[in-house]
Amino acid sequence: MLVIGAEGMLGRDLMGILHSSFPKNEVIGWDIDEIDIQEENTTVKKIESLRPQIVIHIAAFTDVDGCELNQGKAFAVNAEGTRHVALASSKCRAKMVYLSTDYVFDGEKREPYLESDPPHPLNVYGHSKLMGEQYVQEQVKDSLVIRTQWLYGPFGKNFVASILQQAREKSTLSIVNDQTGSPTYTADLAKAICELIQFDARGIFHVANSDLCSWYTFGQTILKLSGANRVKVLPMSSKELGRPAARPSYSVLDCQKLKKETGLTMRPWSEALKDYLALIASLPADPMNR
Ligand SMILES: NC(=O)c1ccc[n+]([C@@H]2O[C@H](COP(=O)([O-])OP(=O)(O)OC[C@H]3O[C@@H](n4cnc5c(N)ncnc54)[C@H](OP(=O)(O)O)[C@@H]3O)[C@@H](O)[C@H]2O)c1
């Protein structure tokens, strides 16, 4: 089993779960230091030489605003890079698992998105990830595409860490209240990915913690649960925030297929958040130094 993107925020949690669920020497993790998926020949040759049975591709250029400003890199990594991994997986006759995003949707539906809903990305990141999905589905016979959203976890920069950091420095925070989704804990997602693999699931699955909220409500809950009650939170619009990439105003993922086909359910985001806050309270302060 080969994980590409093993050193990222999800990757480090996923490697931990895979190592505890499968024999340790059967799970190999690579990241940018071992393989640059932008390079077709070396990517294909290197994967082919390992001959994995399962390739879990979670490497990506994940800076959503950065993708808007550097479109060439976004498509080179998220679309073409994924095509290279898909080509190698197909040559090895490996199963390929690919992580995708709620940002393949435009948010116009205003109801939770089903796996069968037509995608219509609003930003470059979403476009590039959707192209990645299409390459995987076209090229690999046995593929699993997992769309998730609003990730946070102990091993990378994320919204929760940023709110906690800002709460230490400021008395008032402004947070957008016109985007709705489901914050998802990387530890919960990693467990679900592992179970979907053990279940030999195929096709597209939506996987996110249950219940929905805005970033504003999420921020308020983070502050309340972490005891930072003195910090005032003000709602603001996405327009006021003025970030380079447009985001869907509603990108909740319907995870009923996951439950129906595998029996798996995802717990509410507020429960997962409590566990995450308890965990990071016991870790070094800087998520990049863990
Ligand atoms: N974060 C979210 O909220 C979110 C939401 C929905 C879906 N997803 C998807 O979930 C997956 C994991 O996300 P994450 O937040 O854990 O990402 P992450 O922390 O940014 O990790 C991605 C990893 O991929 C590596 N990488 C980047 N370019 C590469 C290349 N050319 N070749 C090889 N490796 C490369 C990165 O290295 P560097 O750090 O050195 O660049 C990083 O270690 C991604 O596929 C992402 O699109 C994430």
CA of 180 to the centre of ligand 1 (A): 22
Q: Give the 3-state secondary structure of residue 97.
A: strand
How does pLDDT run along the chain (290 residues), one tens digit per residue? 999 999 999 999 999 999 999 988 899 999 999 999 999 999 999 999 999 999 999 999 999 999 999 999 999 999 999 999 999 999 999 999 999 999 999 999 999 999 999 999 999 999 999 999 999 999 999 999 999 999 999 999 999 999 999 999 999 999 999 999 999 999 999 999 999 999 999 999 999 999 999 999 999 999 999 998 899 999 999 999 999 999 999 999 999 999 999 999 999 999 999 999 999 988 776 655 55
Whether 98 sits among the annotated catalytic residues: the reply is no
The catalytic residue among 103, 113, 125, 152 is: 125
For residue 157, which atom of ligand 1 is closest to its CA? 19
Tokens matching residue 166: 């800002």
For residue 129, which atom of ligand 1 is closest to its CA? 47
Dihedral (CA of 133, 137, 143, 146) sign? positive
Pocket lining for ligand 1, CB < 6 angstroms: 5, 7-11, 31-32, 35-38, 58-62, 77, 81, 99, 101, 129, 148-151, 156
Residues 6+ apart with CB under 8 A from 194: 14, 17, 18, 21
The beta-strand segments (E) located in 50-197 are 54-57, 95-101, 143-148, 151-152, 172-176, 180-181, 184-185
Ligand 1 pocket mutation, candidates 55, 62, 83, 113, criterion most atoms within 8 A of CB: 62
CA of 4 to the centre of ligand 1 (A): 9
CA of 154 to the centre of ligand 1 (A): 14
Rg (C-alpha) for the chain, rounded Å, is: 19
Q: What is residue 214's predicted lDDT score, i.e. its pLDDT?
A: 97
Which residue matches tokens 């109801």? 111
Amino acid at 173: L
For residue 76, which atom of ligand 1 is closest to its CA? 31
CA of 228 to the centre of ligand 1 (A): 30
Residue identifier of the C-alpha nearest atom 20 of ligand 1: 62
Whole-model pTM over 0.85:
yes
Ligand 1 pocket mutation, candidates 3, 7, 14, 32, criterion most atoms within 8 A of CB: 32
Closest CA to 65 of 74, 57, 55: 74
Residue identifier of the C-alpha nearest atom 45 of ligand 1: 58
From the number of C-beta atoms within 10 Å of its C-beta (0-12, 13-18, 19+), residue 108 rates as exposed
Backbone angles phi and psi of 202, in degrees to 5 = -135, 155
Contact 106, 121 (CB under 8 A): yes
